[in-house]
Structure 1
Amino acid sequence: MERQHSALAMPFASPNRTARVAILLSTYNGATYLSEQLESLIAQTEQDWVIHASDDGSTDATLEILYQYQRRLGDDRLYIHAGPRQGFAANFLSALKRTKDQADYFAFCDQDDLWEADKLERGLAWASAHPTSTPLLYCSRTRLIDSTGQLIGFSPLFRRPPSFANALVQSIAGGNTMLFNAAAAQLLSLTPFQVPIISHDWWSYIIVTGCGGRVHYDEYPAINYRQHGNNLIGSNSSVRDRLVRLQRMLKGTFRQWNDVNLEAVSHFRQHLTHENQRILELFGSARRAPLYRKLSLISQSGVYRQTLPGNLGLVAASLIQRL
């Protein structure tokens, strides 16, 4: 039987206040780096924010650290909630559903990274230049750091434009880089609780592009993405990461991910633009088609990955029935 949070272990704050940015912080046994991350949030040049920490059942000092910062910041700036204990993606989406009406913008936040001081400001500068009625999603490249905070590299730099045709077969940015507006939050909050998704960041990219929103990929890395043994999802930038992706494709993992994503997208079909409904149908047909028609349908659908090796991998996955 799943353990329940006690009232003493999970104090809820007073009614949530509206802020320009709701920072959705997902925590689970993150005591090692959590204080550093919280300090980087406090140091943001954009100060109209509220942190909603959704803890997924931590057994280390994570909650104690959150309580300390809640006392320091006030319970109207840091809220602590009980997560659903169904994995990181479900935890982020539950936090979004809980707060979707309480801010103008929202930012996913991991527990162990470090934000540059202008992280929120950069996202807001782009988003505020577009109509609020349009779903907007800002994301970026990341700077990779080790467990001590030392620079060890960067995530891949993507040049091709973000689109639904790309989102169907590739996630281009981590959720820790994302900032999105209330229109995007309302869309994402429609995700049924019982529908599994691969990751909240890939899902956000799929839904915002699919439903006619705008996505901006910032080449400047305003996130220090910590690489360590407990990372749930890595940077996907090294040769080793590429070999891991190849192994996953050969084992059918990529195909399984597509199965999950397409099932989830089916619940949003009525929200997709007509063009994206066409792309989705062609892509689905290509996956089911005999080999002699598969590549033709893939070409008609227009789906693509960001790099030449990625697109060659897409062709290879089609040929060996791993799409």
Structure 2
Amino acid sequence: MSWLDKKIRRVAVLMSTYNGEKYIDDQIRSIAGQVVSQDVQVRLYVHDDGSTDHTLNMLKALKLEFQELITIITEPSKNVGVKASFFSLIKSPSITADYYFLSDQDDIWEKHKISDFLELFSEMSKDKPCGVYSDLWIADKNANSTGEKMSQIAHWKKGIIDFKFLSFDYRVVGCAFAINNAARLEFKNSVSLDLINSVNMHDSFLALLISATGELHLLDKPTVYYRQHEGNVIGALKKRETITQKINKAIAVPGQLIHDDVCIGDLVEKNHIKTNDGVESIISIYRKYYDANGFTERLRAAVRVYPLMHHRRRWLHFILMIFIHTNEYTTQPWIGTNR
């Protein structure tokens, strides 16, 4: 069978930009230079989120150069923030594909990234929500690798990353994450803008949803040069924080994680979505804490949550969860709601 007889596999790369003039050219050229087989069609869809620098002009110039590769999306026309911007791309009725790759504006992709992801997707079901995420090279502001991988500095543990694990961990990094069309449709049909604005991030919530209802797999190799610079929204390296910021983060992180887990429970119940084995019982544990009134109920609920924690500072979060209802502090002070 020749490649002409094969069904074209359509890949949509979704990118949100905001004042990215320093890095956008490098990233788009790394996407344009992807090495893929002839039956793979790659298209890049960019939503500019109200840039005030030369990002939009650079995008228009790159579109002239790469023509059909790039589609610039201008709605929403005002600055809505990174979560709502990606949300609009994932929900857009004008974008249709078999696979959807999330992309930051300031990284550089390994030239075989798309091919490596598609090879792993080919072993997975097309009929249920599936996602693939990879490791990343930590890079400096010039996109030179530091020699360290995300899995090293974040102390990734090997093994299955299921809902139980992700329910108390932000493992998946959006710029190294892709989903199939079944996952996109599930997200598109069940997630509202109000919901996405209330969760930690669009990518971590999407990964959590897939782990609850489908399959999530790790490509155990770096496929992205994850550029670290002063403009990172989140980034891989620790930023200098005040004592107040550290305290706010320590309180808000467990509350936000539990909030997102409960949101998954509400979402699957409302939309009658079947979950994987054990998911509902895990959500019920978090819901007990979420709905707790008073110290005694919080204590009992936190004791049940503790075995689900697996990071090095779980004892600190456990103590805070007992004495403070951490769900009241899910305002994300460690990342903000905008760029």
TM-score bracket for the superposition, by shorter chain length: 0.7 to 0.9
**Residue in 2 that maps onto 1:7:** none
8 Å CA contact retained: 2:200, 2:256: no
Distance 1:265 1:244 in 2: 32
Match of 1:80 among 72, 96, 101: 72
- Structure 2 residue 61 is matched with structure 1 residue 68: yes
8 Å CA contact retained: 2:163, 2:212: yes
Distance 1:19 1:277 in 2: 34
**Residue in 2 that maps onto 1:132:** 126
- Structure 2 residue 96 is matched with structure 1 residue 102: yes
Shift of the 91–318 alpha-carbon distance from structure 1 to 2, 3 Å rule, reads same
Distance 1:222 1:314 in 2: 32
Instruction: Tell me the secondary structure at the aligned position of residue 205 of structure 1.
Output: helix
Shift of 1:54: 0.8
Shift of 1:267: 2.6
Give CA deviations for 1:168-226 in whole Å, capped at 9, x if unaligned.
22110210000110001111112112222321111111110112x11112231111011
Shift of 1:100: 7.8
Amino acid at match of 1:90: A
Identity of aligned residues (%): 22
Which residues in structure 2 correspond to 1:1-323 (within 5 Å)?
20-46=10-36, 48-74=41-67, 76-84=68-76, 85-98=79-92, 102-152=96-146, 153-155=148-150, 156=154, 157-190=156-189, 191-195=191-195, 196=197, 197-211=199-213, 213-235=214-236, 247-256=247-256, 258-259=258-259, 262-263=262-263, 265-269=265-269, 270-273=272-275, 275-287=278-290, 288=292, 290-298=297-305, 303-305=308-310, 307=311, 309-321=312-324, 322=326
**Residue in 2 that maps onto 1:4:** none
Question: How many residue pairs are counted as aligned between the two chains?
Answer: 298
**Residue in 1 that maps onto 2:334:** none
Point out 4+ residue stretches in structure 1 off by more than 4 angstroms.
237-241, 243-246
Distance 2:135 2:57 in 1: 32
Shift of 1:97: 0.8
Shift of 1:162: 1.1
Shift of the 125–320 alpha-carbon distance from structure 1 to 2, 3 Å rule, reads farther
Instruction: Tell me the secondary structure at the aligned position of residue 271 of structure 1.
Output: coil
Deviates more, 1:166-175 or 1:102-111: 166-175
Instruction: Tell me the secondary structure at the aligned position of residue 29 of structure 1.
Output: coil
Shift of the 126–240 alpha-carbon distance from structure 1 to 2, 3 Å rule, reads farther
Structure 2 length-normalised TM: 0.79
Distance 1:52 1:217 in 2: 25
Instruction: Tell me the secondary structure at the aligned position of residue 54 of structure 1.
Output: strand
Shift of the 219–251 alpha-carbon distance from structure 1 to 2, 3 Å rule, reads same
In structure 1, stretches of 5+ residues that fail to align are 1-17
Shift of the 173–69 alpha-carbon distance from structure 1 to 2, 3 Å rule, reads same
Structure 1 length-normalised TM: 0.83
Distance 2:207 2:284 in 1: 18
In structure 2, stretches of 5+ residues that fail to align are 1-7, 328-339
Shift of 1:247: 3.2
Distance 1:239 1:312 in 2: 23
8 Å CA contact retained: 2:262, 2:286: no
Shift of 1:35: 0.3
Shift of 1:258: 3.2
Shift of the 318–159 alpha-carbon distance from structure 1 to 2, 3 Å rule, reads farther
Give CA deviations for 1:251-298 in whole Å, capped at 9, x if unaligned.
435314533553465233232516312211122113426254234422
Give CA deviations for 1:127-186 in whole Å, capped at 9, x if unaligned.
111120021110122111111122233212332421112222211021000011000111
